Amino acid sequence: MRVVYYSVDQDHARWIPGLQAALPQAEVSLWAPGAPPADYAVVWKPPQQLLDEQPGLKALFNTGAGVDALLQLRLPAGLPVIRLDDAGMSVQMAEYVCHAVIRHFREFDGYEADMAHGKWSFRKPRSRLDYPVGILGLGVLGERVARSVAQFDFPVNGWSRSPKTLPGVQSFAGADQLDAFLAASRIVVCLLPLTPDTRDLLNAQRLARIRPGGYVINVARGAHVVDADLLAALDSGHLAGATLDVFRTEPLPAGHPFWQHPRITVTPHTSARTLRSESIAQIAGKIGALQRGEPVAGKVDPSRGY
């Protein structure tokens, strides 16, 4: 069995020995143009050439949860695409989002500003009931985040394509219930996959539906949010702030207004990193399962886009 690895991040020096150790029966190598035919490819943002030159793949493994970049390519019809299914990302996402929610709710940003001036000044306690948290996307990551936020006794809403039953989470489903979901939420967290249906979802009209004094946390993809509309909603006072981990162009270009905005927190696409050893163990386990003809989790449906 032959496995090829390619990542645009060029981090093969550790991935290839890791995959080789986890798949001792396989020959694992770095993909380069003209590489011999492989059975499986493990990739992050590969070039089209890899797919064109490897028509015999049995499956394509994505070393991330989001497959939006991969689905831009021409994939051989019927080629199974398998994404990371948690692999240590959901706990990171829960940490990041709980931190952002609590930092805003408890006004730590205000205390940081006060500290710079040596100012000792209490803020009035806020009621959690006034800060319902809405999670767009209740999949592998969104569900973990919803459960984690609910543990702090915030009211939690979730929006997905299909209705869900999760303790402490009010489920809203489908395009028809999006407005009701937004109207019921003050802190809105985006954990959707980027698809034609979800691109530009947080535009002026939708941002206006969030409760006044709202807060946006985007940890999915930059193109879910219309940048100019977010800035306008902040500047009008409708939104109180935003924490953004993902951007239309990454790295976020120097001079982008998000860098300087006093009520925006920027992090460099780091809310949930791919963890190499967890991911290699998951992918190797799935290659073994596929070789035995068993089903695997995390199979992408290209017609849905996730």
Cite the active site residues. Answer: 221, 269
Is there binding between residue 248 and ligand NDP (CB under 6 A)? no
**Per-residue mark of binding to ligand OXD, 214-243 (x: CB under 6 A):** ------------------------------
Binder of ligand OXD out of 38, 60, 65, 187 (CB under 6 A): 65
State in angstroms the smallest separation of the CB of 161 from ligand NDP.
Answer: 3
Q: Which stretch binds ligand NDP (CB under 6 A): 14-22, 72-80, 106-114, 139-147?
A: 139-147
Give the interface segment with ligand OXD, choosing from 61-69, 102-110, 194-202, 205-213 (CB under 6 A): 61-69
- Report CA-CA distances (Å) from 305 to 70, 138, 196, 198, 299: 10, 16, 8, 10, 11
CB atoms within 10 A of CB 269: 16
CA-closest candidate to residue 57, choices 40, 70, 43, 74: 40
Query: Residue 211 or residue 224: which is nearer to ligand OXD going by CB?
Result: 224
Which residues between 12 and 51 bind ligand NDP (CB under 6 A)? none
Residues 143-182 that bind ligand NDP (CB under 6 A): 159-162
DSSP 237: T
Q: Please identify the residue of the shown chain whose CB is closest to the bound ligand NDP.
A: 139
Strand partners, 59: 40
Q: Does 65 bind ligand NDP (CB under 6 A)?
A: yes
With binding defined as CB under 6 A, does residue 306 bind ligand NDP? yes
Region at 248 (left for phi over 0; alpha for psi -120 to 50; beta for the rest): alpha
Distance between CA atoms of 19 and 28, rounded to whole angstroms? 7
Strand ranges across the sheet with 81-82: 27-30, 2-7, 40-44, 59-62, 81-82
Q: Are 78 and 294 in contact (CB under 8 A)?
A: no
Q: Cis peptide leading into 253, omega within 30 of 0?
A: no
Q: Which of 28, 41, 43, 89 binds ligand NDP (CB under 6 A)?
A: 89
Q: Decide whether 18 or 66 has the Cβ nearer to ligand OXD.
A: 66
> What is the closest distance, in whole angstroms, from the C-beta atom of residue 28 to ligand OXD in the complex?
21
The answer to whether 202 touches 189, Cβ cutoff 8 Å, is: no
Minimum distance from residue 66 beta carbon to ligand OXD (Å): 3
Contacting ligand NDP (CB under 6 A), which of 18, 134, 142, 222? Answer: 142
Q: Which residues share a beta bridge with 60?
A: 41, 81
Rule CB under 6 A: which of 180-239 touch ligand NDP?
191-195, 197-198, 219-221
Nearest distance, CB of residue 113 and ligand NDP, angstroms: 27
Which of 176, 251, 256, 186 minimizes the C-alpha distance to 217?
Answer: 186
Task: Confirm or reject binding of residue 66 to ligand OXD (CB under 6 A).
Answer: yes
Cβ distance to ligand OXD smaller for residue 64 or 298: 64
> In 3D, which of 140, 161, 95 has the Cα closest to residue 304?
161
Q: Which of 18, 46, 64, 142 binds ligand OXD (CB under 6 A)?
A: 64
Closest CA to 221 of 13, 16, 68: 68
User: Could you tell me the two tokens for 12?
Assistant: 């093969």
Structure tokens at 56: 């015999």
Residue the block writes with tokens 């702090």 = 152
Q: Which residues bind ligand NDP (CB under 6 A)?
A: 65-66, 89, 137-142, 159-162, 191-195, 197-198, 219-221, 245-246, 269, 271-272, 306
Q: Which residues bind ligand OXD (CB under 6 A)?
A: 64-66, 274
